[in-house]
Amino acid sequence: MSSLTDLLRERIQSLVEEEGLEVVELQFSQAGPASVLRVFVDKTGGVTVGQCALISRKLGDFLDTEDLIPSRYTLEVSSPGVDRPLTTCADFRRKVGERVRIVLKATVDGKTEVVGKIKDLREQNLVLWESDEADPEGQERVIPLDRVARAKIIL
């Protein structure tokens, strides 16, 4: 099944990119005679319902023409939502300017969790502007991505 998922991602990525979006996750599952293809798209600043609808029509037409899925299927296109964890460099890049909560794999400067605004992503390092009640003016903190256990946008 993963080879079909890989093929689908490969074939639809460029169609999504033509609209200025990125495929951040693709799920394909079979339940009985029907299948479900879920495509999660995103871009800096977020995705509108209209953009999801446009991508859905575009992908639906393409998939029907190419006949890549051998059985009946349902296509669902949506944005990943605020609760989706940030896991890739592209995720962090798209969310520059957003406030995040970072849980670290090991203690750094006595902390296992950091809250701040994403300032930049430099190579494999996340640059945050960290401020809290103890330090309201804040400071820049550089965190290697390989030390991040979990990261999520906070409102």
Domain boundaries, the chain: 2-78, 89-153
Mean pLDDT by 10 residues, the chain (155 residues): 82 95 90 86 89 96 90 90 83 90 89 92 92 77 92 89
Place of tokens 């906070």: 154
Distance CA 42, CA 48 (A): 9
CATH number assigned to the domain covering 2-78: 3.30.300.70
- Would the CATH topology of 2-78 be identical to that of 89-153? no
What is the percent of the chain where pLDDT is above 70?
98
Q: What is the pLDDT of residue 2?
A: 61
Q: What is the pLDDT of residue 1?
A: 46
Residue 100: name the closest of 141, 50, 58 by CA: 141
For 67-89, the pLDDT digits (tens) are 888 788 999 999 988 778 888 88
Q: Tell me, which fold does domain 89-153 have in CATH?
A: SH3 type barrels. (2.30.30)
Per-residue tokens: 104? 């670290």
Contact 92, 135 (CB under 8 A): no
